[in-house]
């Protein structure tokens, strides 16, 4: 399968396999409501089947709306969050706590190793 790359205003998305994608956000971008809307429009046009997403977490600056909506697309079955350090883990844990508080289930897992994250995605999509 030919790997495709898509450009959104806040990230690049690479299709790694039929059902697994990788997102690398642009530097100095805050993921907010308009980013979420753009993302959902992208997935709605591209996909009719479930998918998994590997997200590279640099600083992952999120607005409150961005934190609420990350990983919520109905076809996004699982999300692997690739972290660089423990400080990022604390931020992501806070985001996931917010999601649980508002009653949004998300099938996600934190990783420090990209191949391990991709293997988990392939097994769970």
- DSSP string computed for 110-121: EES-HHHHHHHH
pTM score above 0.75: yes
- DSSP string computed for 16-67: -SSSEEEEEEPTT--B-HHHHHHHHHHHHHH-SS-EEEEEE-SS--B-HHHH
Whole-number pLDDT of residue 69: 65
Where are the domains positioned within the chain?
4-124
CATH 3.30.43.10 fits 4-124, yes or no: no
Give the number of other Cβ atoms within 10 Å of residue 11's Cβ.
20
Residues 15-54 have pLDDT tens digits of: 999 999 999 888 877 777 888 889 999 999 999 999 999 9
Residues 56-99 have pLDDT tens digits of: 876 656 655 566 566 678 899 998 888 887 776 666 666 666 56
């Amino acid at each position: 399968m030919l790997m495709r790359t898509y450009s959104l205003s806040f990230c690049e998305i690479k299709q790694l396999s039929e059902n697994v994608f990788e997102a690398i956000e642009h530097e100095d971008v805050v993921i907010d409501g308009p980013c979420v809307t753009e993302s959902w429009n992208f997935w709605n046009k591209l996909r009719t089947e479930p998918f998994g997403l590997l997200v590279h977490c640099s600083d992952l600056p999120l607005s409150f709306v961005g934190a609420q909506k990350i990983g919520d697309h109905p076809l996004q079955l699982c999300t692997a969050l690739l972290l660089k350090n423990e400080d990022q883990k604390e931020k992501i844990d806070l985001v996931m706590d917010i999601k649980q508080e508002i009653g949004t289930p998300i099938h996600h897992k934190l990783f420090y190793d990209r191949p391990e994250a991709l293997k988990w995605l392939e097994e769970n999509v």
